[in-house]
Structure 1
């Protein structure tokens, strides 16, 4: 559904007999979402996904697994005309803990328009639904058919004339959702490869079933696109719930589902692991090595026909075990793990004071060691309950360790510290990681631990630390783009790394995941991603674990390369312990050009070295994956449209008819600016993030390029020097202004010193040299006469011309 007319036809002419309230609700949802997702998200990755059924408009999802999966299913389902996110909230009657009904606001997750009528949808994970069925049993019901119903919302929307349903996401659907997403993506990719269907059928008849990798090699196809299209059209059968199309070496395909099912059954008999295979086991059935040795020793003693009190007790254990269907070995396993008195031994008043001190005082004190904390507790305990001794330091430490790390972290360092000290999530419930190049990339910034030379003069060097912005492919860890800057992270940094990626590869990744910094939450980045139909995802704020790939790259750069370069700050503790004359600032010799070239030299070395457990280097894995699945990358030409879109819009600037537009002491002009004469005094401007000699000015309904007088010389320079020139002129402008101000202060100081000297002397020194009468002797050196000269001051009353 793309237009208002199509929506009007759906509401009034499709035979759904919608009420006026339902029509108004749908129209309001069509106009715009009711709220911005992720405002209160704690651990969710929110995404803005272009929807094919909405003609490229973005659909915002509040979680990667449930809501993102629901959107994929809607995009793939032909019965769903379109899905609208975040409809308007309504009032529903919910049941609170004491059983009382209370009115509360409720915002559903989606509104879908289907061929059978509109539906309001609540999206939940299966684990969350299972919890609600117990904790909120009055409102959440499971019918005999298995359908989950949220009764308050169902009743409220029924009065409006709309159906409310609950979509339950299960972890078992993760492969299906990934495969459907890949099928949808492949539909947008046109390939020149032609699939020989007759040869394909012949091969599959002979082989019964085959992996995608083997089939591609036998058909001599360059990539997987024709085979993915064949699965999408039904020409090939694949188990989309158990296998991954992204794993071509393990994904079986056949001509029909029956043959495929038998092939999968045969292959699965040899598998080492499958979902649900490993579960917890009781120590009474599977003992430790020590307990097993003791059980075997007991069996040997029983069989020796000797008699003792212990042997009689073990024989009694055998009889009890036989009644419980246990083997002789299992019956004699010692219950070592049940030893010990687990009842509390310290008095209640002592225990209460200990926990009150730990939770109320100790965990809030930053930098307080365990020993000092124990001393403070001991002093408090001796005064509070003198009749009981304080607990030992060991007990104090044990009870402290029993407090969850996230509780201590939040008390001492807020949300970010809490997340860093929290326990990891269940690996079985995590989402699938990116496995194909260009599927997903991350962008982040890093203040480099090195000083670069910005400006030099006789006997003095001015240095500054650069910011590095990197784009990393999350499937292979390849660096897709880099930029350096002397400015703090901003929209300009994002634009530069996007441009670098397009220049090097002619592509951008399908999805880019970033943190929630102001540069990434800007309208600029959101509009750029929407313009090219790319997915923008924001990871949770204050969760350092979510940026591990980026931090890993920056850490490698510091530890493996930067620590060996002059002017580095890699060992910060060492830096603080050295003399000022040996400080990194004094050792800086690298220019920005050198640093940029060395940064890429490190990336090339890193991507071809042996690392991890993989059989291929980063570069080989990236090239092979990108060739097999070419439809993930978004092809983009580095042309006029792209550089205009990536230019950063800024404030309005004054316009001079005689000279043009002045920005940071540089004049920009274009003949098109003549159209603004007498009409506007200020003009909208987009700054090129890299080229200091180019801006775009809004003239009528177009962005016109305006150039400085240095544009011709700039075009003749190499790429690295072009980038660095822009970095120095634009991003180091503020720093250079400070340096220039220092030099102006030096000039003012010199003039003041001369004025003070003049005030002190009030005279002008005159050199007196005796000159003999008559003809001068040419043999005598004139300069030798100066040795006996005297200096006599004379008073100057007035200068006149």
Structure 2
């Protein structure tokens, strides 16, 4: 809403002037702070179609869920992240007055509610309410409240509410994320013929699963089905069923058909497609043939049930499952409040019994049952004394617990003398020394601490335990807490509890290709040479974009430059060139290259989301980390010039130095990586998938849709958006000079037009050729030439930064002003002075620029890697020999692809 319309709408709602001022202040203010990770949360931003800007979130499981809810709730008109803070006052637990600034997560304007909103997990709220009961509390209805914040809101005529994790409908959340590409489409449509075919298939059955409908694909695909769901042409209950459970997700012609089917299902147990939710865990009760049975054992082919009348029955699992499907067996949830004390004891005894215990008890029961029915002791090949003992235990348990079966359980876990040997005072003293003397950053060894503990025991008159007992007590302490206290949180990271996400939350690796992708860099273990001079250029960096679901390498970028925004934008550019689309969610680490304005703008422009994994938590980036290791082990370490030996620097001699044996240049390595990433790795079975990344990708795309509405044209407009701009983003057109970008003026004839002179226009520059730039004039991108084009042509932004840094350094040495002019930079670049760093960077940039021809599909010219004419005969022979070696490797890689497809093994490649 515009301001005038909003003001009238607020007046109709009866909002006072103070409240209207607060709302206007929120709407015109930038977010009060930038969200960040504290080592546990995963922050990021979401490109909101409703708001037309990016919305920050501090947790990808909590606040991001709130954003999805607001984005697709028609009742929500506007919402803003991190609104301006305000002061709250309250009394702490000790009764002292407290006051501080407070920043809620969102400010929300709904049809019937306006105010601030805070999101927290249920566990956080419980801890905070115990710490500050006057700040956070729970009311009679079970809703969480924050009285100090509510007081501030009420004074303005507005509201405040706390949303907790229990309010999130995770089934709805996952389904909305799955359908988001179709929901965000401007004008989704489907042809009438395809719509009629799908409706006819669904109408032929009272209910059809999504998997069954997808198997009928002939004249339609998955995209057509999901588009019809978004357009409400077919109905599915996305709050009850998960779409990715394709075989259990029911589809109906309309909502009325769905309701009718539910009514029919409640009246009959024989309808098809009845979701089964029976929990057959040991200890649970079921109802079968008007009797209550308890599950006491689950085998591979047989399940054992115990009735209220002590009649254990072994039923084949196939028969049991058939009874469930027919509805003959139903579940009775175990509820302590409805169980007697004896029943609870019986249940606990059964749960504590192992598989061997239950097997023994079952054998004993059938014998005891026969004796109770009148059979003689002599009929069994078991000592009479043993049989009488079983009978006594059975009858005693029947009297005590009302269930004789549990008396036959061996309960081996209770055997042995479990009386504590050490006095309580000695145990407490031992724990005190372990906690205060052993578990400290001093990292004393256990023997030293034990000696001090032993002396203390003797001084107090206690009999000290042995060193072995002391060490066992140390091992009984939580290992993660122990390492954290002795070595810090980073050292304890590997011993942290692994939290497997619940099935209702977003899965770790997404539900489909292109949903969650990771970007990361690594320096390859290989030394490269210059294709012109043959000199060493050092080790290259590679940037991978990996699909988390299929583990497919979507794109890579190879360069000599350390990770920067250029690497990030170029790898996304390569992804669009290959697939015509970008990931829905991009996972990055805390590196500054991932947080540049250019990178964020490119992601947001194409409706992508960015999440930042916590620092010093490599498991969050395991998708890329594993790929780095695989690439080095399977490819790089098998090439000449690899740097494995550099791990033991002291053992390096001149003869084995990788720099002396390097034969690969960047252009040729790029060609090898194309084969490795897009042929060898892509078609080889992955250990965690059980199939190749390409096979999983193709199979899943067929079910989840190709989502053509998200496709991006790889044209000049897109390429322009991958180029960086200045911090301001625009530049003023100066009459007769043009626009100033990074010290230099750039000019084009279009600047002569009077409508352009003096205007601020959007600009971009090419980081790999600072001789040119681009300006957006009259709805077109126009190429600009620098005033010093002859000097700057084909020079890179990295060269410019090196030159300006050197000039600043010289000015500081001579006490001059630090301001640098364009003429000074040009003179420096034109000087004959041998600036080694500049020359090296120039050679590296040339190598990178040559790879662009390969990226765009061009062929590398032979004269790019010719030998110098003044080479000696021996040098020519050596170069020819090395080239033959390279060609052999390339030929081998081509053969490897065929061999690996036939034998599905990396071993062949490793041997080659």
Shorter-chain-normalised TM-score: which range? 0.7 to 0.9
Greater mean deviation of Cα atoms: 554-563 or 247-256: 247-256
Q: 2:580 aligns with which of 506, 511, 514?
A: 506
Q: 2:836 aligns with which of 738, 759, 765?
A: 738
1:338-362 Cα deviation digits (max 9, x unpaired): 7553747267467546654565555
Match of 1:517 in 2: 591
Q: 1:602 aligns with which of 655, 669, 676?
A: 676
Asked if structure 1 preserves the Cα contact closer than 8 Å seen for 2:119 and 2:164, the reply is yes
1:593-647 Cα deviation digits (max 9, x unpaired): 1222222221121111222465753223324544642338743333343333322
Q: In structure 2, the residue corresponding to 1:228 is in which secondary structure? A: helix
Q: In structure 2, the residue corresponding to 1:552 is in which secondary structure? A: helix
Greater mean deviation of Cα atoms: 254-263 or 136-145: 136-145
1:762-796 Cα deviation digits (max 9, x unpaired): xxxxxxxxxxxxxxxxxxxxxxxxxxxxxxxxxxx
Cα distance in structure 2, aligned partners of 1:240 and 1:327? 48
1:13-38 Cα deviation digits (max 9, x unpaired): xx111122222222222123543353
Taking a change above 3 Å as real, the CA distance of residues 155 and 560 of structure 1, as seen in their structure-2 partners, is: same
Cα distance in structure 1, aligned partners of 2:585 and 2:156? 38
Q: 1:60 aligns with which of 56, 61, 64?
A: 56
Q: 1:345 aligns with which of 412, 415, 422?
A: 422
| 1:464 shift after superposition | 0.8
Match of 2:515 in 1: 439
Asked if structure 2 preserves the Cα contact closer than 8 Å seen for 1:466 and 1:485, the reply is yes
1:142-197 Cα deviation digits (max 9, x unpaired): 55655443334333322321122333333872121122234443133356641444
* Unmatched tracts of structure 1, length 5 or more: 716-721, 743-801
Is 1:622 equivalent to 2:697 in the alignment? yes
Q: In structure 2, the residue corresponding to 1:483 is in which secondary structure? A: strand
Asked if structure 2 preserves the Cα contact closer than 8 Å seen for 1:470 and 1:482, the reply is yes
Greater mean deviation of Cα atoms: 34-43 or 593-602: 34-43
Asked if structure 1 preserves the Cα contact closer than 8 Å seen for 2:799 and 2:838, the reply is no
Is 1:631 equivalent to 2:729 in the alignment? no
Q: In structure 1, the residue corresponding to 2:669 is in which secondary structure? A: helix
Matches within 5 A, 1:372-411: 373-381=445-453, 384-387=456-459, 392-411=466-485
Taking a change above 3 Å as real, the CA distance of residues 568 and 545 of structure 1, as seen in their structure-2 partners, is: same
TM-score by length of 2: 0.67
Match of 2:22 in 1: 25
Match of 1:326 in 2: 403
Is 1:97 equivalent to 2:93 in the alignment? yes
| 1:108 shift after superposition | 2.3
Asked if structure 2 preserves the Cα contact closer than 8 Å seen for 1:563 and 1:571, the reply is no
| 1:416 shift after superposition | 3.3
Cα distance in structure 2, aligned partners of 1:660 and 1:51? 33
* Aligned pairs, number: 715
Q: In structure 2, the residue corresponding to 1:520 is in which secondary structure? A: helix
Cα distance in structure 1, aligned partners of 2:404 and 2:536? 81
Cα distance in structure 2, aligned partners of 1:355 and 1:125? 34
Match of 1:315 in 2: 392
Cα distance in structure 1, aligned partners of 2:365 and 2:74? 67
Q: 2:525 aligns with which of 449, 461, 476?
A: 449
Cα distance in structure 2, aligned partners of 1:701 and 1:206? 53
Taking a change above 3 Å as real, the CA distance of residues 373 and 127 of structure 1, as seen in their structure-2 partners, is: closer
* Unmatched tracts of structure 2, length 5 or more: 285-333, 335-346, 372-376, 807-833, 841-912
Q: 1:116 aligns with which of 109, 112, 117?
A: 112
Taking a change above 3 Å as real, the CA distance of residues 177 and 192 of structure 1, as seen in their structure-2 partners, is: closer
Taking a change above 3 Å as real, the CA distance of residues 700 and 221 of structure 1, as seen in their structure-2 partners, is: closer
Greater mean deviation of Cα atoms: 110-119 or 628-637: 628-637
Is 1:239 equivalent to 2:224 in the alignment? no
Match of 1:559 in 2: 633
Matches within 5 A, 1:577-616: 577=651, 579-604=653-678, 605-612=680-687, 614=689
Cα distance in structure 2, aligned partners of 1:396 and 1:490? 52
Cα distance in structure 2, aligned partners of 1:60 and 1:78? 21
Cα distance in structure 2, aligned partners of 1:134 and 1:321? 46
Asked if structure 1 preserves the Cα contact closer than 8 Å seen for 2:92 and 2:133, the reply is no
Is 1:8 equivalent to 2:23 in the alignment? no
Taking a change above 3 Å as real, the CA distance of residues 661 and 351 of structure 1, as seen in their structure-2 partners, is: same
Taking a change above 3 Å as real, the CA distance of residues 504 and 274 of structure 1, as seen in their structure-2 partners, is: farther
Q: In structure 2, the residue corresponding to 1:23 is in which secondary structure? A: helix
1:293-350 Cα deviation digits (max 9, x unpaired): 5546765886548775995597256433554243514653325247553747267467
Larger radius of gyration: 1
Cα distance in structure 1, aligned partners of 2:389 and 2:13? 81
Q: Alpha carbon RMSD of aligned pairs, Å?
A: 4.7
Taking a change above 3 Å as real, the CA distance of residues 53 and 554 of structure 1, as seen in their structure-2 partners, is: same
Cα distance in structure 1, aligned partners of 2:629 and 2:748? 49
Matches within 5 A, 1:158-169: 158-169=154-165
Q: In structure 1, the residue corresponding to 2:204 is in which secondary structure? A: helix
Q: 1:284 aligns with which of 350, 354, 357?
A: 350
Cα distance in structure 2, aligned partners of 1:33 and 1:340? 69
Asked if structure 2 preserves the Cα contact closer than 8 Å seen for 1:285 and 1:330, the reply is no
Match of 2:121 in 1: 125
1:369-417 Cα deviation digits (max 9, x unpaired): xxx8233324444555555676545444434434434434444554433
